[in-house]
Amino acid sequence: MSDVARTAGVSVATVSKVVNGRYGVAQATVERVQQVIHELGYEASLGAQSLRSHRTNVLGILVAEFEPFSTELLKGASREVAGSGYQLLAYSSGDGEGAAIGWERRSLARLSGTLIDGAVIVTPTVIETKHGFHVVAVDPHTGPSGLPTVDSDNFAGAVLATNYLLALGHRRIGHISGRPDLESARLREAGFRKAMADAGVAVDERIVRVGGFRTESAAGTAAELLTLPDRPTAIFAGNDLSAISTMDVARSMGLTVPDDLSVIGFDNIPESALVNPPLTTIMQPLQRMGAESLRLLIDLIAGVERDTHIRLPTELVVRASCRAHP
């Protein structure tokens, strides 16, 4: 910056004003300085800016892992950030079930404190929100975090899914749920039970089990369900990953979907349209959720008054993994 100042024949103070568009510098000077900045290819040092002004115009989005779900969110978020004047940085907290939580939490806190103005978190990782640092949670960890939140209507979606299965004539419906410390997983299970109860169908506790939201863990649970003497005729999987995993397991056991078993998922990740058979599922508007969370974060930083809990609607997407029960 002092280079710029020298060659433009002004002081660093003036250069700073020009860079930040502050009032109080003559038009002629502005142009001259901008010219020099362009020629010299000057870029302000983020570190120094942050140090002095506690503002970097950089936002973070923290995901547990790079998988389809978070990737969709990222797409939406990075589309929203374009043109907002902010820069978006994504980081993964490491493994989902992760080992080195301590280390990750620490380095995360470091970034937060000093280098980004706010963050969207898409992971159960708890983060202590320092003063002046904004964070919004997507699909958050259970419990009264009090954080601004973006999610979809998991409960209603689960009711949708279950009702669809019921309407097809299924009565023995199994459920593979996510980790119970995930709010979304609990809501989906609750929606499932509600729909069953409303239809007057008793749920057999032996065929609702925790499977986790990840491919491998769900596979084990699916295998358990399907080897039961009187196996379910339909399964509502807690998310698409476990639904896909369930279909794999079914196939490997000689069962064909949807003839021998109906499967419905939740999320509508892009993969769901590709698998064979294409997966019937509940759509969450993932990209839109990503975009909304970023918009919320930006508004929060700007101090605009607004609703800090956004719930987006879910929708049934009928494809080919379910059929009527004879």
Partner DNA sequence: GAGTGATTCGAAAACGTTATCGATACCGAT
Partner DNA sequence: ATCGGTATCGATAACGTTTTCGAATCACTC
Enumerate binding residues for its own copies (CB under 8 A).
41, 43-51, 56, 58, 65-67, 71, 74-75, 78, 82-83, 87-92, 94-95, 100, 106-107, 109-111, 113-115, 128, 244, 270-271, 274-278
Q: Which does 132 bind (CB under 5 to 8 A by kind): its own copies, DNA, none?
A: none
Q: Indicate whether 106 belongs to the interface with DNA (CB under 7 A).
A: no
Q: Which is nearer to DNA, 18 or 81 (CB)?
A: 18
On the question of a cis peptide bond just before residue 277, with omega within 30 degrees of 0, the verdict is yes
Instruction: Report the partner that residue 191 touches, choosing among its own copies, DNA, none (CB closer than 5 to 8 A by kind).
Output: none
Residue 85 is a binding residue for DNA (CB under 7 A):
no
- Shortest separation between residue 141's beta carbon and its own copies, angstroms: 20
From DNA, its own copies, none, which one binds at residue 29 (CB under 5 to 8 Å depending on kind)? DNA
Structure-token pair, residue 64: 């547990």
Identify what 65 binds: DNA, its own copies, none; CB under 5 to 8 Å per kind.
Answer: its own copies
Distance CA 116, CA 113 (A): 7
Q: Which does 206 bind (CB under 5 to 8 A by kind): DNA, its own copies, none?
A: none
Tell me the C-alpha distance between 77 and 297, whole Å: 11
Separation in Å, CA 248 to CA 173, 252, 275, 279: 18, 6, 10, 12
Using the minimum distance from each CB to its own copies, give the nearer residue, 15 or 275: 275
Strand partners, 60: 89, 119
| Minimum CB distance to DNA, residue 278 (Å) | 52
Partner interacting with residue 17 (select from DNA, its own copies, none; CB below 5-8 Å by kind): DNA
For residue 326, whether the previous peptide bond is cis, meaning omega lies within 30 degrees of 0, is no
Closer CB to DNA, 86 or 213, in the complex: 86
Residue from 7, 19, 141, 209 binding DNA (CB under 7 A) = 19
Q: Residue 132, interface with DNA (CB under 7 A)?
A: no
Residue 83 interacts with which of DNA, its own copies, none, CB < 5 to 8 Å by class? its own copies
Total residues contacting DNA by CB under 7 A comes to 29
Query: Using CB under 7 A as the criterion, what x/- string covers residues 28-67 for binding DNA?
Result: xx------------xxxx--xx-xxx--------------
> Which of the stretches 23-31, 163-171, 216-224, 305-313 binds DNA when contact is defined by CB under 7 A?
23-31
Give residues in contact with DNA (CB under 7 A): 1-2, 9-17, 19-20, 22, 24-29, 42-45, 48-49, 51-53
